[in-house]
Amino acid sequence: MENMQQIRLAVDAIIFGYRDTELYVLLIQQKFGSQNSYWAVPGGLVKEDESLIDAVKRELREETNVRVNYLEQLYTFGDDITRDPRNRVVSVAYFGLVDPAKLVLKADTDADHVAWVKIKDIPNLAFDHNEMIIKAIQRLKDKLTYKPIGFDLLPEKFLFSELENLYATILEKEIDRRNFRKKMLSFGIIEETEEFANKKSGRPAKLYKFKSAEYQKLEKEGFHFEIKFA
């Protein structure tokens, strides 16, 4: 029997950013034909002549003007055959980490608007994109115990308290800061600089930076970080 399969293949990108002790996700507002505008994660159909990773990078660039160094394949969404009411579409979702301060957002192609939205303020999204974000957040939490993160979410130079707050924000729990500091410094992936943060009051604090070579080495060799909570 002839197979008349007409399933379409798409990619979607869940991009996290961090600023002011808040975790954000990158969303676009789309409008197709007579349908009402809706918010969604960036994404679209894969072209015949491109790989999945090239497709997701292209969609991000075209719809948001964002280029991401770190992208990881998250999950394939397609068990619900009605997830897209227009066609049967299977989507391969990726997630990535960026520092929003380094980016200039610009909506283009089929995106009317693009914005960073706080995780706690995410609206009802198109298709199953809320589920995608939930899975991506859980993956991010899980990764904290076996992969050092922060390199892509924090500025080049940062306060140690900002790194602590990053972990506490993602885990949604207050961490044991003394234990965290001791363990993080023991891995040798960050170092104290001679620069101080600009503070209007109180004792000025020194800035830290990631040691790229050590960070990449530890990333390849593996990482186990048992986080204690307050």
pLDDT for 200:
61
**Taking residues 84-107, what's their average pLDDT?**
92
Tell me: do 166 and 131 sit in the same domain.
no
CB 74 within 8 A of CB 136: yes
Tell me: do 47 and 136 sit in the same domain.
yes
Neighbours of 215 (CB within 10 A): 18
Q: Is residue 201 part of a domain?
A: yes
Q: Is residue 42 part of a domain?
A: yes
Domain's final residue, options 89, 117, 143: 143
Tell me: do 93 and 64 sit in the same domain.
yes
**Interval 9-48: pLDDT, tens:** 999 999 999 999 999 999 999 866 545 678 999 999 999 9
Q: What is the dihedral of CA 190, 192, 195, 200, to 10 degrees?
A: 90
Number of domains present in the structure of the chain: 2
Q: Is residue 213 part of a domain?
A: yes
pTM of structure: 0.90
> Confidence band (pLDDT; 50, 70, 90) for 96?
very high
Task: Give the separation between CA 54 and CA 66, rounded to whole angstroms.
Answer: 14
CATH (domain of 115): 3.90.79.10
Q: Indicate if the pLDDT at residue 217 is higher than 90.
A: no
Domain of residue 178 covers 157-221
